[in-house]
A and B are shown apart, each in its own frame.
Chain A
Amino acid sequence: AAGVIQSPRHLIKEKRETATLKCYPIPRHDTVYWYQQGPGQDPQFLISFYEKMQSDKGSIPDRFSAQQFSDYHSELNMSSLELGDSALYFCASSLAAEQYFGPGTRLTVT
């Protein structure tokens, strides 16, 4: 069965740079979620989109923005990167309540 696809899988950036993470949901899923998991932490919800409209907002920094496109893929844009942004970023998708998670993008900020 098709799963959630995230790219890139690994990313290394320097402080103050920008990064763009991409998420391709499971086909026919209309809702996308983004989560951030710091080292040794539990995943924290950032933002979600339903039918290309922002649905819910969690602890997303103002330096981050996201959108969902007409083909339902989503991108998380991160600017002015800080050392504390180093984390595993998950995308999840759903059609009903159950969320299916992608493999994650590991971002390292140096």
Chain B
Amino acid sequence: GIQVEQSPPDLILQEGANSTLRCNFSDSVNNLQWFHQNPWGQLINLFYIPSGTKQNGRLSATTVATERYSLLYISSSQTTDSGVYFCAVEGSGGGADGLTFGKGTHLIIQP
């Protein structure tokens, strides 16, 4: 099956800092999504981005499908950005395939 690797596994930053999270995947994809899992366990959709670039406020993401990686940028970090960031992909096999998640990046924003 498709493999997903995220880096770094852990990241500790001060409030106001910027960060870049990376997701590498092993095969072509129909779907790539970024999620934020908050301390209460909720998975919040950040981006649906199988290719191209999107921005939403302080967050932006870029996927280069031909090189099989995606980047999530967080600018001017706030303590509420803390949590685990997951990248998840669906291979291009067709059908209602489930997402394969990476191990996540655990982000801690200190005040």
Contacts and interface: CB of A to CB of B under 8 A. Distances in A.
Interface string A15-56: 000000000000000010101010000111111111000011
A49 B98 contact: no
Interface residues of B, number: 23
B50 A56 contact: no
Nearest to A100: B45
Nearest to B50: A97
Given A55-B95, A106-B41, A98 B100 contact: no
A88 interface: yes
A99 interface: yes
B99 interface: yes
A98 B96 CA distance: 11
Contacts of B48: 97-98
Given A101-B45, A106-B41, A45 B33 contact: no
Nearest to B103: A42
A91 B41 CA distance: 13
A72 interface: no
A48 B35 contact: no
Contact of A56 (B30, B31, B33, B95): B95
A103 B42 contact: yes
Nearest to A97: B31
Interface of A: 31, 33, 35, 37, 42-50, 55-56, 58, 88, 90, 92, 94, 97-101, 103-104, 106
